[in-house]
Every structure is written in C-alpha cells, then in structure tokens.
C-alpha cells in the first residue's frame, strides 16, 4: 500500500499536466505537455527512493515553474536537459543499486555456504587473530571441547589448559610456523585430539587450528597392540614348554622311560592347548571379519544342548559334577546349528571348568516374548561384579593362573558373544562369587509361543 504522503508528489505532476492541457491545448504545446508527463513519471519512480526524493521533487518543481514560464517565452530546453540529467542519474543509481544487491546476495550466499561447510565438518576448527585469541570456530569444535561457554574471545590456554597448544598458536601467529600435536582431554568421556596449527597466510594475520578426534582410532590401535601381545604370550607358553621338554628328552631323559612318559604327556597336552588356541583365534578372526556365513535354520535347542553336553560329559564325570538338561523338545530357535552347539559347548565347558568337584550344572530352556531363552547355571566359583562387564573381551580372565591351569584360552566367551550377535541374539551373565554363575542366551524363536506351551 502506498503511504498517504506519497500521494502529494504523485498527484502533483499529473495535476500540472492536466492544467497544461486545459491552458495550452495538446496540438499547440505538445512538447510542454510531454515534458510535464515525463516529469510526472520521473517523480513517480523516484518518489519511492528515499534519499533522492526531496532533491528530485525540487527539480520537478523547477521544471514545472520553467515549463509554465516557457509557455510565454516558447522555449523548454533547460527543463529538458535537467530531466535528462535526472533520468541519467536515476539510471546510474539503479545500476549501482542492482550491482550492490547482486554482490551482497553473492557474499551472503558465500558466507552461508562457508558456515554450512565448517559446521558440517567432522573436524573441529578455530581461527585466531594475530594475538592468538579465538575469533571464529565451528560446531564440531564445541562438541570436542565439551563446552557450552563462549569460545570466541578466549585464549587457547584458557580453553584447553595445554601449554604445548598455546605455544603452537603463538608460534603460528608470530613466526608463521606450523605445528602438529596430540593431546588427551581428561573428563567424563576422555578424548584424544590430534591438532594441526598453521598460520593463516602472509596477508592474513592470525592462525588456524584443525582438531581431529582420534579417540576411537587410538582405542582400536591399543586393542590391536594388546591383542598381538596377548596372542604372542599365549602361544609362547605352550611352545616354551614343548621345546623345553623335548630338549630335556634329547638330553638324556629319553633313557628313563618313567620320566620320558611323563614328559611326552606334557608335550602332548601342551600341543593340544596350542592347537585349541589356534582354532579359537581362527574362529574369532573369521567371526570378526564376517567371513563365516551362518546358515540360519530352525534349530531344536534340546538337540543342540544334548550334543554339547556329550562333549563335556567325560570332564564332568571326572569332577563328579551333575549335568542336568531341561529344555522342552518344542523349543526351536532360529540360528546356525553349528554355531549354537559351539555357544552351548563353550558355556557348558566353562560351567564344568569353574565348578568344584561335586557341583551341579543345569541347562534350562524356555520361550519368552517370542524369544528362546537358555540359561546355563552352575554352582561354581562365581565372578566378582567388577569383572562381569569384561569377561566377554578377548583374553580377559578373572584369574589368569586358574584359567590356564584348566586349559582355558581366554577366548571362549568372546566367541560366544560374536556368534550370538551374528545370529541376532545376545548373551548375558549373572553371578555372585562362591555362589555360582548363570549365563543366558537369547535367540529368535522359530515357533510361536502357543505351540511350545502346548
């Protein structure tokens, strides 16, 4: 809607034109009428353009005055010239305005794109001025520093309390030197950041620092290193024993049949342990690399548990441990048959291994909420709560000596966990020291609840 004030400059030239029409007549003074019309249209356009409005209105008044004066003298050239000037001026202003608008829009677009790119980066970034004060940063940096406070306007030392980083920023600002460094932020969630600090450039004073979160990378590196160290250690133990006894036999013990038999027995046991370890390592590596293709079928869990119990029966009998199976025949899980047998075997083997003589191991199967649930319960040594979260890790043992003495590789539960998750299930543990443990596996059921209940 046009504001009322504008009506005056808009209507005035039109009225002037009308008056000229009446006074002079179209044929006689068409030039003046045209001039007046031009003036009116020029005014109509510029009236809306703020700063020029007053100047142009004054020009228009002059034109009208001269036009009226010129009707008697018969000349309007001055007015014509002024109007052309006005028109040129307006054209130039329009062009300039257009250029500025386009440039502004371009700059806005660029700034928005840059901000979106910086905020979309996984790496944190800050820019400092020549004094080393942060003047700009992206969203990722805030997440990495885990701060809700102001970052802009702060010095590196205040933000991270790290002298090395502070020095790197100073060096970049003063000497134009780049630095790489790594630091660990302690806290609820400790983080390791790899940082590169560089000067902004010759014409731009200040520095930029890019922060990479390498926490996960360093964690995986540590797991890999620990794994290699563990494997070497685990392999070395039986190999050293085998070599030692073989050398003793070579050195003369072979002549004493009693001693020789004992040593050969040990060599045999240790070689079995070595082969178990290699088997477990290969199985784990296949599972982790998802090399093994599991054949998911309907598996009657009672059958799988009976087969696994067969394998440990001899060991259980040796320790006078009762193994009781209580799984309804209709309890059918969806999973890989061989994988499920392996899971139940590892759990039963542990239950027998960590239960003292005369104990009891019970396997109980039920169907709950569309899932098959199998509990493997023992009356053994149990596990302290602080170890529960870690026993599914590779080579983690509550009692290293006991586990090795009993022929454990430290990989059994890790394999169970991988197999269960590959079959879309899971494994959990509940245990109390000296009261026994219950390992429970959950697996998708193949048969609806009603069928099992019946």
Query: Residues in contact with ligand ADP, total (CB under 6 A)?
Result: 22
- Closest residue to ligand ADP, judged by C-beta, is 408
The Cα-based distances of 116 to 59, 140, 175, 213 in angstroms read 49, 12, 31, 20
Only one residue has tokens 């609840």, namely 449
Q: How many CB atoms sit inside 10 A of residue 253's CB?
A: 18
User: Quick one: 247 or 426, whose CB is closer to ligand ADP?
Assistant: 426
Residues within window 226-245 making contact with ligand ADP, judged by CB under 6 A: none
User: Quick one: 307 or 397, whose CB is closer to ligand ADP?
Assistant: 397
Least gap, CB of 382 to ligand ADP (angstroms): 6
Least gap, CB of 398 to ligand ADP (angstroms): 3
Angstrom distance (rounded) from CA 32 to CA 26: 9
Exposed e or buried b per residue across 418-428, where buried means at least 16 C-beta atoms within 10 angstroms of its C-beta: bbbebbebebe
Confirm if 128 and 206 have CB atoms less than 8 A apart: yes
Residues within window 85-124 making contact with ligand ADP, judged by CB under 6 A: none
Residues within window 331-390 making contact with ligand ADP, judged by CB under 6 A: 350-351, 354, 378, 380-383
Least gap, CB of 304 to ligand ADP (angstroms): 18
Angstrom distance (rounded) from CA 215 to CA 424: 29
Least gap, CB of 243 to ligand ADP (angstroms): 23
Task: Take residue 340 and report the two structure tokens written for it.
Answer: 């499920």
Which H or E run includes 115? helix 77-120
Least gap, CB of 415 to ligand ADP (angstroms): 8
Confirm if 436 and 367 have CB atoms less than 8 A apart: no
User: Quick one: 212 or 428, whose CB is closer to ligand ADP?
Assistant: 428
User: Quick one: 60 or 343, whose CB is closer to ligand ADP?
Assistant: 343
Instruction: Give the largest Cα separation in the chain, rounded.
Output: 149
Instruction: Of 351, 355, 348, give the one whose Cα is nearest residue 380.
Output: 355
Confirm if 76 and 32 have CB atoms less than 8 A apart: yes
Task: Take residue 319 and report the two structure tokens written for it.
Answer: 């320790």
User: Helix (H, G, I), strand (E, B), or coil: what is residue 180?
Assistant: strand
**Residue 403 near ligand ADP by CB under 6 A:** yes
Angstrom distance (rounded) from CA 53 to CA 187: 64
Angstrom distance (rounded) from CA 300 to CA 353: 26
Kindly report each contact of residues 241-245 with a partner whose C-beta sits within 8 Å and lies 24 or more positions away, as own/partner: 241/266, 241/267, 241/270, 242/267, 242/270, 242/271, 242/274, 245/270
User: Quick one: 341 or 378, whose CB is closer to ligand ADP?
Assistant: 378
Q: Which part of the chain contacts ligand ADP (CB under 6 A), choosing from 7-15, 132-140, 333-341, 403-411?
A: 403-411
User: Quick one: 21 or 227, whose CB is closer to ligand ADP?
Assistant: 227
Least gap, CB of 261 to ligand ADP (angstroms): 28
User: Quick one: 190 or 434, whose CB is closer to ligand ADP?
Assistant: 434
Least gap, CB of 403 to ligand ADP (angstroms): 3
Angstrom distance (rounded) from CA 435 to CA 379: 6
Residues within window 406-445 making contact with ligand ADP, judged by CB under 6 A: 408-414, 437
User: Quick one: 429 or 447, whose CB is closer to ligand ADP?
Assistant: 429
Least gap, CB of 220 to ligand ADP (angstroms): 21
Q: Which part of the chain contacts ligand ADP (CB under 6 A), choosing from 18-26, 168-176, 245-253, 398-406?
A: 398-406
User: Quick one: 132 or 408, whose CB is closer to ligand ADP?
Assistant: 408
Least gap, CB of 430 to ligand ADP (angstroms): 11
Q: Which residues bind ligand ADP (CB under 6 A)?
A: 350-351, 354, 378, 380-383, 391, 396-399, 403, 408-414, 437
């Amino acid at each position: 809607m046009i504001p009322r004030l504008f009506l005056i400059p808009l209507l005035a030239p039109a009225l002037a034109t009308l008056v000229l029409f009446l006074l002079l007549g179209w044929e006689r003074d068409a030039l003046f009428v045209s001039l007046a019309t031009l003036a009116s249209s020029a005014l109509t356009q510029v009236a809306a353009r703020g700063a020029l409005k007053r100047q142009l209105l004054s020009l228009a008044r002059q034109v009208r005055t001269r036009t009226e004066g010129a009707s008697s003298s018969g000349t309007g050239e001055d007015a014509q010239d002024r109007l052309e000037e006005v028109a040129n001026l307006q054209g130039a202003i329009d062009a300039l305005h257009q250029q500025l608008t386009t440039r502004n829009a371009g700059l806005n677009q660029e700034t928005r794109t840059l901000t979106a790119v910086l905020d979309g980066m996984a790496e944190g970034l800050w820019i400092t001025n020549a004094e080393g004060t942060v003047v700009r940063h992206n969203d990722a940096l805030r997440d990495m520093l885990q701060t809700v406070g102001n970052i802009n306007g702060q010095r590196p030392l205040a933000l991270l309390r790290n002298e090395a980083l502070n020095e790197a920023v100073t060096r970049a600002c003063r000497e134009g030197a780049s630095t790489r460094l790594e630091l660990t932020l302690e806290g609820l969630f400790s983080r390791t950041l790899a940082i590169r600090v560089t000067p902004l450039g010759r014409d731009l004073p200040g520095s930029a620092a890019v922060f990479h979160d390498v926490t996960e990378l360093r964690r995986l590196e540590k797991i890999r290193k620990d794994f290699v160290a563990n494997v070497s250690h685990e392999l070395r133990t039986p190999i050293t024993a085998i070599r030692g006894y073989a050398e003793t036999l070579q050195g003369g013990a072979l002549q004493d049949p009693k001693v020789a038999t004992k040593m050969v027995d040990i060599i045999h046991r240790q070689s079995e342990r070595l082969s178990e370890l290699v088997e477990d390592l290969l199985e784990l590596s296949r599972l982790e690399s998802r090399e093994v293709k599991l054949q998911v079928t309907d598996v009657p869990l009672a059958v799988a548990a009976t087969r696994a119990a067969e394998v440990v029966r001899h060991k259980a009998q040796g320790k006078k441990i009762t193994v009781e199976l209580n799984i309804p025949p209709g309890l059918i899980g969806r999973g890989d048959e061989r994988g499920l047998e392996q899971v139940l075997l590892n759990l039963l083997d542990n239950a027998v291994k960590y239960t003292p003589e005369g104990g009891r191991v019970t396997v109980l199967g039920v169907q709950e909420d569309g899932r098959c649930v199998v509990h493997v319960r023992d009356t053994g040594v149990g596990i302290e709560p602080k170890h529960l979260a870690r026993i599914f890790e590779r080579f983690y043992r509550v009692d290293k000596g006991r586990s090795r003495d009993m022929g454990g590789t430290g990989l059994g539960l890790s394999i169970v966990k991988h197999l269960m998750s590959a079959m879309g299930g899971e494994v959990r543990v509940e245990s109390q020291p000296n009261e026994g443990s219950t390992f429970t596996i959950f697996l998708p059921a193949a048969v609806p609840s009603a069928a099992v209940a019946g």
